[in-house]
Amino acid sequence: MGKKPKNLWLADPREVLRASEGFDLATVDRNSSPGWDGGKKEAKALMKSRAALLPELQERLFAEGRTGGKRSVLCIIQGLDTAGKGGIVRHVMGAVDPQGVALSSFGVPTEEEAKHHYLWRIRKALPPAGSIGVFDRSHYEDVLVVRVNDLVPEEKWSKRYDEINKFEEDLVKDGTTVLKFAMMVSHEEQGLRLMERLDRSDKHWKYNTGDLTTRAKWQEYQTAYQAVFEKTSTDHAPWYVLPADHKWFPRLAITEILTRTLSEMDLNWPKPRWSVETQRRKLAESMSTESLITSLEETHDNVESAMADSIEVRHEVAAIPGIDDAQAAEVAAARKEAWLEEIDAAVAQKETILRDRADLPKKLKKKLKKKAKG
Ligand code: ADP
């Protein structure tokens, strides 16, 4: 078991970072780390511990999806060029099994996409049940770049905010938790990051001459983002506005919000619709006495290693806000007890089956009989 990580969130980041009524983007210090009482080093330490927790939560969601569950999570990531959207995919989603993550990037619509309604390509990319979807840009481009560059008349884009709200509300009703993250860099920091791309030949591929045209419209983009936050930060799908001049901050905040969201979903390993006992008996019938003895010997190790990996039994539980240390200890003890009962049941059944085997070595037969009596 590792050390309990230091949790330096002063408050739930979902409350601190949420764009609520009266939100004013102009007042957001892009070089700040709201709600976090530490720096980069502490952020890295907490992220490391979350990286041990996230994969199991994600696997539980995945298992739920495989057994008929309808729930999924969608992370929408928006931000101007150089805000660090790519880093999120690597640093946050890198921790989880790629099988359970559905990543989609939305660039300038293709000829085919342009023929359809703007939500057409978005609908096609929605995460399947049990997955975590990540949108690198999204339908919000249709009220950001489209609005700033007059790609469609105002009469058209202005109706999209309500349409988007309705679209997201339906998603939520269908079981998708929608998390929207806007990564906001300052004008100066964007300048520095673009210049670095020009200075380094290994970063030239990331540079786009159009980036300067977009940068020239900085204020128009800020206005368009402000409108997005005002009109589409709803209760069912709120926006989290992340100052992004420190690259580590949005990574930390998204990791934390995702971890808290998943842990509140009360994800449990699906219960089988068949009987473990019956299946174990049937499987044993097809196994030699020798391998059944091996399996009996392995029972403890197999289950105990699963128990050690279980998030309920590990220290991370205590670092999930809302669960205090005493509560965590109680959860851990109860879950451990359940695991131990499972070990006992498996061992007992295997021993019963083995006792009736004619080719069981005498010594073991004697031992098992003695155990059964006593
Ligand atoms: P990135 O710049 O994120 O690395 P791309 O090179 O694919 O990714 O560029 C994405 C570009 O596509 C951005 O300039 C973005 O504004 C633009 N884009 C995305 N969606 C739309 C849209 N619906 N209409 C017009 N342009 C869009």
Ligand 1 center from residue 81 Cα (angstroms) = 10
Instruction: Say what the pLDDT of residue 283 is.
Output: 98
pLDDT range class, residue 373, cuts 50, 70, 90:
confident
CATH code of the domain in which 18 resides: 3.40.50.300
Task: Say yes or no to pLDDT of 8 above 60.
Answer: yes
Q: What is the pTM of this model?
A: 0.93
**Which amino acid, residue 90?**
R
Rounded average pLDDT over 168-189 = 98
Full domain range(s) for residue 348: 276-373
Stretch among 4-18, 294-308, 352-366 having the lowest mean pLDDT: 4-18
Task: Say yes or no to pLDDT of 322 above 90.
Answer: no
Task: Say yes or no to pLDDT of 1 above 50.
Answer: no
Are the CB atoms for 64 and 224 separated by under 8 Å? no
Starting from the edge strand earliest in sequence, which strands make up the sheet with 72-79, in order?
101-105, 132-136, 72-79, 176-184, 239-243
Please spell the DSSP secondary structure of 235-253, one letter per residue: SSS-EEEEE-SSTHHHHHH
User: Cα separation of 260 and 265, whole Å?
Assistant: 9
Q: Is 13 left (phi over 0), alpha (psi -120 to 50) or beta?
A: alpha
Are 309 and 190 members of one domain?
A: no
pLDDT range class, residue 147, cuts 50, 70, 90:
very high
Residue 181 lies in a domain: yes
Pocket lined around ligand 1, Cβ cut-off 6 Å: 81, 106-109, 137, 141-142, 145-146, 151, 208
Instruction: Say what the pLDDT of residue 317 is.
Output: 75
Tell me the average pLDDT of the chain.
94
Residue 3 lies in a domain: no
Are 289 and 256 members of one domain?
A: no
Ligand 1: atom nearest CA of 144 is 16
Task: Say yes or no to pLDDT of 289 above 90.
Answer: yes
User: Cα separation of 215 and 193, whole Å?
Assistant: 12
Sign of CA dihedral 151, 152, 154, 159: negative
Are 109 and 213 members of one domain?
A: yes
Instruction: Say what the pLDDT of residue 326 is.
Output: 85
For atom 9 of ligand 1, which residue has the closest CA?
107
At which of 264, 290, 317 does a domain end? 264
Task: Say yes or no to pLDDT of 30 above 50.
Answer: yes
At which of 236, 264, 292 does a domain end? 264
Ligand 1 center from residue 106 Cα (angstroms) = 6
**Residue ranges of the alpha helices (H) in 67-106?**
85-91
Are the CB atoms for 101 and 132 separated by under 8 Å? yes
Residue 270 lies in a domain: no
Decide the pairing of beta strands 101-105 and 132-136: parallel
User: Cα separation of 124 and 323, whole Å?
Assistant: 38
Closest to 126 measured CA to CA, from 176, 173, 85: 176
- Residue 113 is given by DSSP the state H
Instruction: Say what the pLDDT of residue 243 is.
Output: 98
Residue that wins the pLDDT comparison between 321 and 76: 76
Ligand 1: atom nearest CA of 107 is 12
Q: Which of 106, 136, 137, 197 to mutate to test the pocket of ligand 1 (most atoms within 8 A of CB)?
A: 137
Are 196 and 281 members of one domain?
A: no
User: Cα separation of 347 and 117, whole Å?
Assistant: 59
pLDDT digits (tens, 9 = 90+) for 228-244: 999 999 999 999 999 99
Ligand 1 center from residue 18 Cα (angstroms) = 25
Task: Say yes or no to pLDDT of 3 above 70.
Answer: no
Are 280 and 256 members of one domain?
A: no
Are 128 and 252 members of one domain?
A: yes
pLDDT digits (tens, 9 = 90+) for 107-136: 999 999 999 999 999 999 999 999 999 999
Rounded average pLDDT over 337-342 = 94
**Total domain count for the chain?**
2
Q: Work out the end-to-end distance of the chain between its first and last CA atoms, rounded to an integer number of angstroms.
A: 35
User: Cα separation of 288 and 299, whole Å?
Assistant: 16
Task: Say yes or no to pLDDT of 372 above 60.
Answer: yes
Ligand 1 center from residue 167 Cα (angstroms) = 21
Are the CB atoms for 145 and 151 separated by under 8 Å? yes
pLDDT range class, residue 19, cuts 50, 70, 90:
very high
For atom 16 of ligand 1, which residue has the closest CA?
145
Ligand 1: atom nearest CA of 210 is 14
Residue 89 lies in a domain: yes
Task: Say yes or no to pLDDT of 5 above 70.
Answer: no
For atom 6 of ligand 1, which residue has the closest CA?
107
User: Cα separation of 80 and 215, whole Å?
Assistant: 9
Are 318 and 219 members of one domain?
A: no
Are 26 and 165 members of one domain?
A: yes
At which of 229, 264, 299 does a domain end? 264
Task: Say yes or no to pLDDT of 318 above 90.
Answer: no
Are 21 and 140 members of one domain?
A: yes
User: Cα separation of 228 and 181, whole Å?
Assistant: 12
Are 135 and 220 members of one domain?
A: yes
Instruction: Say what the pLDDT of residue 4 is.
Output: 65
**Residue 344, token pair as written in the block:** 């006992």
Instruction: Say what the pLDDT of residue 18 is.
Output: 98
